[in-house]
Amino acid sequence: MEEVDNIFNPDQNISYFMEAAPDAIVVVNREGRIVMVNQLTLNIFGYHKEELVGRKVEVLVPERYRKIHTQHREEYAANPKTRRMGEGRELAGLKKDGSEFSIEISLSPLTTSQGQFVISIIRDTTSRKKVEAKVQGLLESAPDGIVVIDTNGNIAIVNGQAEKLFGYSRIEMIGQPIEILVPDRYKQDHVAFRDGYIAHPKTRPMGAGRLLTGRKKDGSEFPVEISLSPLDTEQGLLITSIVRDITDRRKAEEQIQASLKEKEALLKEIHHRVKNNLQVTSSLLSLQSGYIQDENAKALFMESQNRIKSMALVHEKLYQKNDLSRINFLDYAESLIQLLVRSFGSFISTKVKVNVSGDQVFLSIDSAIPCGLILNELVSNCFKHAFPGERSGEVNIQISNQPDNRVTIKVADNGIGVPDNFNLENLESLGLQLVKTLVNQLNGTLSLQMSDGLAVFIQFKDEAGIK
């Protein structure tokens, strides 16, 4: 056993501290000889106390590192201060049986009346290294880029996919601000968003509702999707960003959007042409009616014109809107009533007030056209029959949503009502026969309420309509 040049006699507090510490502690004198160890050191390295005290500390260092360790120890003795040993390097300890294990070491100088000593706190990191290796394996096997930053916004960890995505090597990214991966025009905003996330960290997608863009080393940009997760570690809070390159998806979406725009343009053109053709048909009927002397025949022509106009109006409304799959029927009804009032002229407009009210009901074109024809027939009947002579009054149209996608259309007047012998099952009027046929086409129901005039209720279900 070699003699120890400096005798170290710790007081009771130091001895208690060493034995209570969760890590191995080795006290070394200026010559590098071990003067004191705690029990955990003996357990970890496999020695008895008398086998270590008095020996050079290099006995605990693998032989291939002993020469450089002696040099580092002497340099530390010349400028002692509390710090980690081997910052940035992998350190290894050597057990009595010759086996090695990974360690972390913190050094602190200790000046006493007995001389200058160095306290080495040694932590066995074998288990942690295994966990880190597993975590690194998971990171490397991930299909997306993973970038981990600290609370200062500096990159701490990246995986291989992140290197491929951004074109930087791992060494080039570690320690750099995360903004090197962000286009210049977004950097200032990104810092604010980052600080806000660190203040209130939670797992969530980044930039919900916004288009996100990454910047490669060569300056090129690409669309990305990012998920953020906070991670509490011994080193403090870390933020994990999972980055996915969505270039192919964005291209596919753009192609779909372009295709949809082409189809929308085509549908608009179809609606426009159908509307024009119906208007031409209406105009031809109008011209033909000018040659008819019989008033009944002329009235029939006008009814046919109004029916055609009600259908043309559906296509006109669809052509004017961005949504080609549905129509706001309340808006449509108001426009249709204006057409009908103009068609019947001052005879109606001066004595009958028409009110349209209700919910914003959206109907598919398959429902809107028959509903438009139904409304045309019911309101026309009110104008023709409910207010004979000088009698005046009101027609109230109400459109409403019902549960389970059902729609109710009510047309009520305060006119003279219907004859006592009126029978809904045995209709002679072409207009009411048409109403009944159209209601059946809608798989709906038709009902009447005959008090203080006449109220007609139509109810049906529009599965394709969206309310």
Residue 318: CATH number of its domain: 3.30.565.10
Q: Which residues span the domain enclosing 385?
A: 250-461
Q: Tell me what the mean pLDDT of segment 167-172 comes to.
A: 93
Q: Which residues pair with 363 in a beta bridge?
A: 327
* Residue type for position 242: I
| Residue 1 maps to a domain | no
Q: pLDDT at residue 234 above 60?
A: yes
Q: pLDDT at residue 427 above 80?
A: no
Residues 57 and 170 in one domain: no
Residues 111 and 155 in one domain: no
Q: Tell me what the mean pLDDT of segment 57-82 comes to.
A: 90
Measured distance CA(365)–CA(465) in Å, rounded? 9
pLDDT of residue 96: 94
Q: Tell me what the mean pLDDT of segment 233-262 comes to.
A: 82
Q: Tell me what the mean pLDDT of segment 381-400 comes to.
A: 88
Residues 87 and 191 in one domain: no
Number of other residues whose CB lies within 10 A of the CB of residue 242: 20
Q: Looking at residue 65, which CATH number applies to its domain?
A: 3.30.450.20
Boundary (domain end) residue, out of 198, 215, 245: 245
Do residues 365 and 332 make contact, with C-beta atoms less than 8 angstroms apart? Answer: no
Residues 117 and 257 in one domain: no
The count of domains in the chain is 3
Q: Tell me what the mean pLDDT of segment 313-332 comes to.
A: 73
pLDDT of residue 1: 42
Boundary (domain end) residue, out of 245, 261, 292: 245
Residues 368 and 258 in one domain: yes
Residue with tokens 């005879």: 347
Residues 144 and 119 in one domain: no
pLDDT of residue 3: 47
pLDDT of residue 347: 75
Global pTM exceeds 0.75 = no
